[in-house]
């Protein structure tokens, strides 16, 4: 993969490659856009199969953060960091070195927690950089706010697609039971939804979901094709693709994962099957809304929750527009986001 060509394709401003052998750190930080303000986006730790795979992911994720922050009305651009490692390999030295790399960007990128990183890791990074949010003494763990936004988006999806004012009896298949996915299951269960769950790594979470929420557990390779009203992908991206689209048995896709749809052709294929899509960078904005409140002034949880709950209105508008025009939801949402970013 040619890094410069990929940067130009998506209009990225900067990409920093980090190789700190002493700390055992291999990482990439991508700054997509700073037109609206310093870029915010979490630091993800994942055992990527190749450096190209890591670059592909960080470029898509950082662009998605620009769109997410714009639609959420935040005075921030989008960025993202990825550390290439197995979660079992993470060390304090690794996160201190990552924080020092963040400093090289001079405040253009503000990091936070993400997949396989948490508040404890954020506190380690705080030793070496001030360009960080999501600290436990301030806004804290973003995952409950992300889950709340997904729940609101699913409620809006049910209203537009299923013409239901309630989630009572609606079947939702949740792929991935990490912090966000599990919190989402709790919210959906409390609203009377029926749950189908699948998870790649944490089998104990599946057992808890079955016990606590009465969830039906299916094999990891069956969750995307489970019969349901709404599919909620809450793991990694690019899972809506030419291979999976023919197997989907849902009426809508609305979940927490970033970049759920592989490409524009897949978006059109999904639409061709009559399946609605709640754009991921809109529906999963709760976490960054919470984190940005820490950066931008005195943290006010009430104001944060008002912004997170407004995700319902945004998703309802996008899906209604798509229903009226036939245009893919992602295109509608991207056009709106880029009109804010680029004017």
Give 71-135 as a DSSP string: HTT-S-EEEEEEEES-GGG--HHHHHHHHHHHHTTTTSEEB---TT--HHHHHHHHTT-S-B---
pLDDT, tens digit, 9 for 90 and up, residues 117-166: 999 999 999 999 999 998 888 878 889 999 999 999 999 999 999 999 99
pLDDT, tens digit, 9 for 90 and up, residues 234-275: 998 889 999 999 999 999 999 999 889 999 899 999 999 999
Half-sphere exposure of residue 249: CA atoms within 13 angstroms, side-chain side: 10
Q: In this predicted structure, what is the pLDDT of residue 51?
A: 96
| 14 phi and psi angles, rounded to 5 deg | -150, 145
Specify whether 14 is catalytic.
no
- Res 200 pLDDT > 80: no
Q: In this predicted structure, what is the pLDDT of residue 136?
A: 86
Mean pLDDT for 210-219 is 97
Query: Hey, how many other C-beta atoms are within 10 angstroms of the C-beta on 163?
Result: 7
Q: Name all domains of the chain by residue range, CATH numbers in brackets.
A: 3-126 (3.40.50.10860), 143-284+312-342 (3.40.50.720)
- Res 230 pLDDT > 80: yes
Q: The pTM is what?
A: 0.90
Note whether 251 and 277 are within 8 A (CB).
no
Q: In this predicted structure, what is the pLDDT of residue 202?
A: 78
Q: At what angle do helices 329-342 and 264-272 cross, to 10 degrees?
A: 140
Q: In this predicted structure, what is the pLDDT of residue 338?
A: 97
- Res 199 pLDDT > 90: no
Residue entry with tokens 């209105």: 313
Q: In this predicted structure, what is the pLDDT of residue 296?
A: 84
- Res 115 pLDDT > 90: no
pLDDT, tens digit, 9 for 90 and up, residues 275-320: 999 999 999 999 999 999 989 888 899 999 999 999 999 999 999 9
Alpha-carbon gap, residue 335 to 337, rounded angstroms? 6
- Res 201 pLDDT > 80: no
Pairing of β 194-198 and β 216-217: parallel
Which of these ranges, 102-106, 134-138, 206-210, 260-264, has the smallest mean pLDDT? 134-138
Mean pLDDT for 59-72 is 96
pLDDT, tens digit, 9 for 90 and up, residues 15-50: 999 999 999 999 999 999 999 999 999 999 999 999
Percent of the chain at pLDDT exceeding 70: 100
Query: Hey, how many other C-beta atoms are within 10 angstroms of the C-beta on 251?
Result: 18
Alpha-carbon gap, residue 12 to 3, rounded angstroms? 10
Tokens representing 202 are 């944490």
Q: In this predicted structure, what is the pLDDT of residue 343?
A: 87
Catalytic residue selected from 9, 22, 68, 80: 80
Q: In this predicted structure, what is the pLDDT of residue 237?
A: 83
| 299 phi and psi angles, rounded to 5 deg | -65, 130
Q: In this predicted structure, what is the pLDDT of residue 38?
A: 98
């Amino acid at each position: 993969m040619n890094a410069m060509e990929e940067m130009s394709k998506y209009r990225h401003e900067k990409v920093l490659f980090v190789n700190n052998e002493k700390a055992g750190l291999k990482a990439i930080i991508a700054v997509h856009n700073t037109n609206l303000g310093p870029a915010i986006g979490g630091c993800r730790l994942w055992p990527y199969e190749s450096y190209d795979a890591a670059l592909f992911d960080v470029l898509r994720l950082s662009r998605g953060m620009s769109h997410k922050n714009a639609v959420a009305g935040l005075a921030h651009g989008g960025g993202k960091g990825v550390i290439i490692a197995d979660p079992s390999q993470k060390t304090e030295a690794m996160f201190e070195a990552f924080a020092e790399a963040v400093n090289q960007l001079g405040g253009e990128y503000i990091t936070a927690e993400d997949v396989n990183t948490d508040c404890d890791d954020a506190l380690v990074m705080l030793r070496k950089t001030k360009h960080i949010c999501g600290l436990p003494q301030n806004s804290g763990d973003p995952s409950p706010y992300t889950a709340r936004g997904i729940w609101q988006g699913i409620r809006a999806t049910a209203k537009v697609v299923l013409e239901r004012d309630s989630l009572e009896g609606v079947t939702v298949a949740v792929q991935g039971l990490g912090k966000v996915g599990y919190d989402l299951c709790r919210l959906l269960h409390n609203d009377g939804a029926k749950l189908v769950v699948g998870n790649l790594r944490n089998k104990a979470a599946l057992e808890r979901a079955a016990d606590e929420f009465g969830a039906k557990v299916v094999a990891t390779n069956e969750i995307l094709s489970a019969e349901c009203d709404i599919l909620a992908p809450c793991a990694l991206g690019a899972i809506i693709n030419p291979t999976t689209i023919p197997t989907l048995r849902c009426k809508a896709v609305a979940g927490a994962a970033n970049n759920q749809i592989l490409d524009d052709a897949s978006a059109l294929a999904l639409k061709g099957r009559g399946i609605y899509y709640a754009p991921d960078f809109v529906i999963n904005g709760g976490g960054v809304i919470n984190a940005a409140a820490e950066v931008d002034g005195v943290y006010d949880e009430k104001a944060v929750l008002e912004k997170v709950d407004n995700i319902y209105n945004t998703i309802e508008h996008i899906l209604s527009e798509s229903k009226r025009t036939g245009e893919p939801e992602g295109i509608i949402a991207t056009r709106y986001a880029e009109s804010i970013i680029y004017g």
